[in-house]
Amino acid sequence: MNRSARLNLLCMLVAWLVLSLVRGERTVQGQDASSLPSGPWSESVNWEGRPYPEVRDQHADLPGTPPWAGLGQTWTPELHETGRMLGCGPIPDCLGSQNVNWDMPSAGPSVVASDELLPTPAPEILLVPNPMDLATQPPIPTAAMLPGGSGHDLLRPLRWVWMTRRASCDQGIGYERIATAPFVLDIAQPMPHIGLRTDLSGGWGRPDRSEAFWAKIGGRGPLLPERSVNYQDLTFVSEVGTANSSVRTLVPLRMLNPDIYYNTAGLGDVQLGTKVVLLNGEYWMITQVNDMTFNSGAVKKGLGTGHISIAPGVLASYQWNAETYLHGQVKFQFPIAGDPSFSGEMLQWGFGASHLLYDSDAFAVIPTIEAAFYSFLTGQETALGPPPQILPVDSVTASTLHFGVRTVRDFGRDFGLVEFGISSGFGLGSAGWYDSLTRFELRILY
């Protein structure tokens, strides 16, 4: 753009600003109650040039009064055109108003409540504002203030904001699924559903640490020390109950890929859990959870821990705003009949957030971020060496960070609400529990 073109553009901008100021300062001059129309309000009355607050004063307590009513503006066809463009139809009921018909003659807005026309108001004027007071009110943007007179292009951002506000009134399916979006953290809200979960995990450097993943190497567990273990889980999830309590089962099929030991596959350790809601308030939900893991996996193959473990704890969710939830969990896992010197207690804790990114009546997108921590309080672990060594475990905390996105789709009829999500996480620091974990999850709610 050359210098002359920039100068012309600057002149046009200054001219537009001056025109806006001149038009915005229009007030009602030299009019009193005697000059106002005395007949009933009808389409035959020309309201152009009349102070609009008269209509506001007559209908101050009636639903459907436009938001700029009473600001001391003059009712003009331009104001009518601006309202029609911004409103694009009736004002939604959830904004505290009834239907306002914008597509009407310039006689002023007709207010429709409950699909019935309001009775014709009395002709007397209750209040005539002082013209000096009107001059102090900020001008309402009208189509005439914009270049070209129509203002469709420059009002597009305002129109988008208005339509977004209208859309936000009718909440879709995403708002009710934000609280149940996490992948790694346990969900505070009981949720009857059936699901299929796939875990792809790698880099388990010391799998027999406190007998939380494997039993003791060389004992009840695999015979050889291991450098790193990868596994793939296909877990069938079922949860039944009510909004205040539920029972769930997790049945995993595990495929194991160690670096040194041979590959194998089979049934893993089955888990049974219960949830009971302790507090279900306007913003907070606090739930007591109790998970029990059974030694159903083949211990020598590395498919289970070889003992039962119980993990009672507390889950919580907090509604930060209508589109964002915060989540937290604390579980204390302890073994039953594990190796007396090798098995130990573990504290599972973490926090995260889920946010509604997109929402409609039939589809929603909810991203998540979660931080999970595993604090091994007691027990032992086997180091590869050489030679292999048994090391004590004393308050070692493994940190992980996970990012995910969950989609919600309402298919209706037989399938109803279906969720599908993917989450990917990695270990942090040198005391990692695993290097990576990718989770795919399909849930069908009923």
CB 349 within 8 A of CB 371: no
**Residue predicted with more confidence, 380 or 152:** 380
What's the pLDDT at 121? 53
Report domain extents, the chain.
23-169, 178-445
Mean pLDDT throughout 219-238?
93
Q: Whose structure tokens read 């050359």?
A: 2
Identify the CATH number of the domain defined by range 178-445: 2.40.160.40
How many angstroms separate the CA atoms of 270 and 287, rounded?
22
Q: What is the pLDDT of residues 69-95, one digit of tens each?
A: 444 444 444 444 444 444 444 444 444
Output the pTM of the full model: 0.64
**Residue predicted with more confidence, 14 or 52:** 14
Lowest mean pLDDT among 116-125, 225-234, 312-321, 400-409: 116-125
Contacts for 252 with CB less than 8 Å, ≥ 6 apart: 233, 234, 235, 236, 267, 268, 269, 270
Please tell me the total number of residues recorded for the chain in this structure.
446
How many angstroms separate the CA atoms of 313 and 10, rounded?
66
**First vs last C-alpha separation in the chain:** 61
63 by Cβ neighbours in 10 Å (0-12 / 13-18 / 19+) ranks as middle
Residues 221/223/229/234 CA torsion (nearest 10 deg)? -50
- Quote the Cα angle for 261-263-269, to 5°: 95
How many angstroms separate the CA atoms of 290 and 287, rounded?
10
**Residue predicted with more confidence, 191 or 15:** 191
Q: What is the pLDDT of residues 274-327, one digit of tens each?
A: 999 999 999 999 999 999 999 999 999 999 999 999 999 999 999 999 999 999
Kind and range of the H or E run holding 198: strand 193-204
Contacts for 83 with CB less than 8 Å, ≥ 6 apart: 66, 100, 102, 109
Binned at pLDDT 50, 70 and 90, residue 152 comes out as: very low
What's the pLDDT at 14? 63
Residue 42 scores a pLDDT above 50? no
SS3 298: coil
Mean pLDDT throughout 16-26?
49
What's the pLDDT at 345? 95
